[in-house]
Amino acid sequence: GVLGVDHVGIAVPDLDAAIEWYASTLGLAVTHEEVNEEQGVREAMLSAPGGIGGAAVQLLAPLRADSAIGKFIDRNGPGIQQLAYRVADVEAVSAALRAKGLRLLYDEPRRGTAGSRINFVHPKDAGGVLVELVEPAAAH
Ligand code: V0V
């Protein structure tokens, strides 16, 4: 099942400007940064140094105008785009939600941040929230 909230994803037009804003305003630090070509994003994970270790903030900037984040910003402007729940087994949770009639966006999990495996529930089947399921890469 769901283990907790992993991260909150925020669509931003300019990743470097957003990283600077979160650092200087809220004191959040980047723990991971990468480009995900398949998802069309440049993304950064942020957390509070010495904080409570809660959910991360994921800043998502579009690589292309026709990407999910590009379209989201076009339609809504910058803002919260998704809520990601951590799961131990993304296939099992996806199957359980499909069995309840929810639409999962992918037939098979795709690659997410830091080698994780991800899928999404369509926002129209989740109370208007784009729900991501994220199975982290195996601990090493
Ligand atoms: C669209 N809608 C949303 C939404 N995006 N509602 C809440 N939150 C969002 N983020 C609503 C929209 O206002 C429309 O409502 C309706 O859904 C449109 O649905 P659609 O035509 O089926 O789809 P699109 O073209 O608007 O695309 C939405 C979806 C797309 C969710 C299908 O964004 C997608 O494929 N997302 C999954 C991939 C993704 O988000 N990648 C970026 C993050 P009305 O107007 O009809 O009422 S990558 C990531 O998170 C990584 C790498 C990671 O965490 O590791």
Closest CA to ligand 1's atom 43? 39
Average pLDDT over residues 105-132: 98
Place of tokens 């809520």: 83
The predicted structure's pLDDT at residue 31: 98
8 Å CB contact between 57 and 33: no
How many angstroms is it from 128 CA to the middle of ligand 1?
A: 10
How many angstroms is it from 72 CA to the middle of ligand 1?
A: 7
Which element (helix H / strand E) includes 43? Answer: strand 41-47
* Residue 140 scores a pLDDT above 90: no
Which element (helix H / strand E) includes 74? Answer: helix 68-76
Closest CA to ligand 1's atom 15? 124
For 1-15, how does the pLDDT look when each residue is reduced to its tens digit (9 = 90+)?
999 999 999 999 999
For 22-78, how does the pLDDT look when each residue is reduced to its tens digit (9 = 90+)?
999 999 999 999 999 999 999 999 999 999 999 999 999 999 999 999 999 999 999
DSSP 80-112: EEEEEEEES-HHHHHHHHHHTTPPBS-SS-EE-
- DSSP letter at 88 equals S
Cβ-count burial 111-137 (b if 16+ within 10 Å, e if not): ebbeebbbbbbeeeeeeeebbbbbbbe
The pick from 71, 130, 131, 132 for probing ligand 1's pocket by mutation, whose C-beta has the most ligand atoms within 8 angstroms, reads 130
How many angstroms is it from 69 CA to the middle of ligand 1?
A: 8
Its ipTM equals: 0.97
pLDDT-derived band of residue 138, with 50, 70 and 90 as boundaries? confident
Which residues, at least 6 apart from 138, have a Cβ–Cβ distance to it below 8 Å? Answer: none
73 lines ligand 1 (CB under 6 A): no
The predicted structure's pLDDT at residue 4: 98
2-135 under CATH 3.40.50.720, yes or no: no
12 lines ligand 1 (CB under 6 A): no
41 lines ligand 1 (CB under 6 A): yes
pLDDT higher at 53 or 140: 53
pLDDT-derived band of residue 133, with 50, 70 and 90 as boundaries? very high
